[in-house]
Amino acid sequence: MADNFAMNGPPPDAAFPDAPPEVAAILDRRIGELGLKIEGSPLEPLVARLYRELERKRLLHFRPACYLTDEWGCPSGEPVIGIPFYLADARLAWLERQINDLEDEREILMYLRHEAGHAFNYAYRLYRTPEWRARFGPYRRAYREHYAPVAFSREYVRHIAGWYAQKHPDEDFAETFAVWLTPGSGWRRKYRAWGALAKLRYVERAARAGREVAPARARGRTDVTAAEMEETVGDFYRRARAESEVEQRGIAGEWSRVLAGGAGASAGALTSDADLADIFNVHPRRRHGVRPAAALIGEHRKLLTDTVAYWTGVPRPLVKKMLEAMEQRLQALRLQSDAARAAEHLAEFTTYATAMAMNYRARRRVRPARP
């Protein structure tokens, strides 16, 4: 039996039966035992790129330490950057991808710049100053996971999807810093007629002052690091999957009032089979140059999710669930897309999904967040 195990690898895990052997082999290991490091991982060049961007801005005294932990973030008031541990190992990335969309390089850099904004705020204790509070609001304002952004407000920059700058004054500063730091953002031109320009100019002044002096708090304390995590890889991801399933059931309930289910759908539903058939209006007898419409949408689902969430402010999990439900309906209806008209199909579908998301916001009677 032991020899068979060694030859074929560990038995398949019920939660991840399709896991490759190298992934299955670490499911019973504690995360802290994996020896995860930023050095030598795919994260190393991206962290180095962040530091080069700070150097180009002549912030020679500011290099926030980065460490691996369970999620993105800076511990409150601490000028350090926590990065999800799964980004440092391809086997863990495979597991993460089974549950969530895995960040690509562009997104990792976006989050690094955003977290660098938090770290800069904490390192120089800007949030304690009257000018910071006048620009961004009280740092001690209650932090809300669920917030209602003002669509297309020009008082805030746009960086992370969902008008994230409107979530909290601290997030507003971090997003503003990220836009200021991003090479080629052209913030002076892009935000020229926006109220957010004053915030960007404030960041520029704060950075100029930071070039001359060391931070008031140069080093920060981490919260739990990957090396300290006692949970096994399998337990971590089984729990993550269970939490995701609970969240998805809640999201399904949210959309049950607005998603059509074909015949018998409520009169108030926001989508219908007829709408989808209008978008993918390929003649049923056409045989060449066609593919399932569901396959076309599935291929672009992540980009569609990001785009709709970015422009509507509807939470990304809700948008993702909506698109998955629409994809399932396209499959059930056996609708086809014409390869020669793929761009047309995608443009119309994206517009339709955006309208659905905005209609959802209206139905929820979302009230704008107070500035």
Domain boundary among 208, 228, 248: 228
Residues 214 and 297 in one domain: no
How far, in Å, CA of 25 to CA of 94, rounded?
13
Q: Is residue 121 part of a domain?
A: yes
Q: Is residue 211 part of a domain?
A: yes
Residues 76 and 186 in one domain: yes
User: Would you say 371 and 196 are in contact if contact means Cβ atoms under 8 Å apart?
Assistant: no
How far, in Å, CA of 90 to CA of 325, rounded?
29
* Among 23, 234, 235, residue whose Cα is nearest residue 9: 23
Q: Is residue 235 part of a domain?
A: no
DSSP state at residue 154: T
List, for residues 174-228, the tens digit of each pLDDT value: 999 999 999 999 999 999 999 999 999 999 999 999 998 999 998 899 999 999 9
Q: Report the sign of the C-alpha dihedral through residues 216, 214, 200, 311, in that order.
A: negative
- The pLDDT value recorded for residue 252 is 63
219: helix, coil or strand?
A: coil
Residues 209 and 276 in one domain: no
Residue type, 191: Y
Residues 224 and 260 in one domain: no
Residues 147 and 267 in one domain: no
- The pLDDT value recorded for residue 78 is 95
Our measurement of the distance from residue 248's CA atom to the centroid of its chain's CA atoms, rounded to an integer in Å, reads 16
- The pLDDT value recorded for residue 370 is 32
Q: Is residue 209 part of a domain?
A: yes
Q: Is residue 234 part of a domain?
A: no
Question: 197: which 2 tokens?
Answer: 């320009």
Residue with tokens 């004053």: 198
Q: How far is CA 253 from CA 5, 132, 258, 259, 276, in A?
A: 43, 40, 10, 10, 22
Contacts of 61 (CB under 8 A, 6+ apart): 210, 211, 213, 214, 215, 218
How far, in Å, CA of 318 to CA of 350, rounded?
15
- The pLDDT value recorded for residue 6 is 40
Residues 60 and 165 in one domain: yes
Residues 278 and 185 in one domain: no
332: helix, coil or strand?
A: helix
How far, in Å, CA of 187 to CA of 92, rounded?
36
Residues 263 and 223 in one domain: no
How far, in Å, CA of 83 to CA of 210, rounded?
25
- The pLDDT value recorded for residue 253 is 64
Number of domains in the chain: 2
Q: Is residue 359 part of a domain?
A: yes
Residue type, 267: A
* Among 160, 183, 155, residue whose Cα is nearest residue 171: 160
Q: How far apart are the first and last CA of the chain?
A: 65
- The pLDDT value recorded for residue 347 is 95
Question: 258: which 2 tokens?
Answer: 């607005």
Q: Is residue 154 part of a domain?
A: yes
- Range of the structural domain that residue 314 is part of: 256-363
Instruction: For the chain, 371 residues long, give each residue's pLDDT as a single digit of tens.
Output: 333 434 455 566 777 889 999 999 999 999 999 999 999 999 999 999 999 999 999 999 999 999 999 999 999 899 999 999 999 999 999 999 998 889 999 999 999 999 999 999 999 999 999 999 999 999 998 887 767 778 789 999 999 887 889 999 999 999 999 999 999 999 999 999 999 999 999 999 999 999 989 999 988 999 999 999 999 999 999 998 888 777 766 666 666 655 444 433 433 345 578 899 999 998 877 778 899 999 999 999 999 998 998 888 887 888 888 898 889 899 999 999 999 999 999 999 999 999 888 877 776 544 333 33
Q: Is residue 250 part of a domain?
A: no
How far, in Å, CA of 319 to CA of 360, rounded?
10
- The pLDDT value recorded for residue 80 is 97
* Among 333, 334, 350, residue whose Cα is nearest residue 292: 334
Residue type, 242: A
319: helix, coil or strand?
A: helix
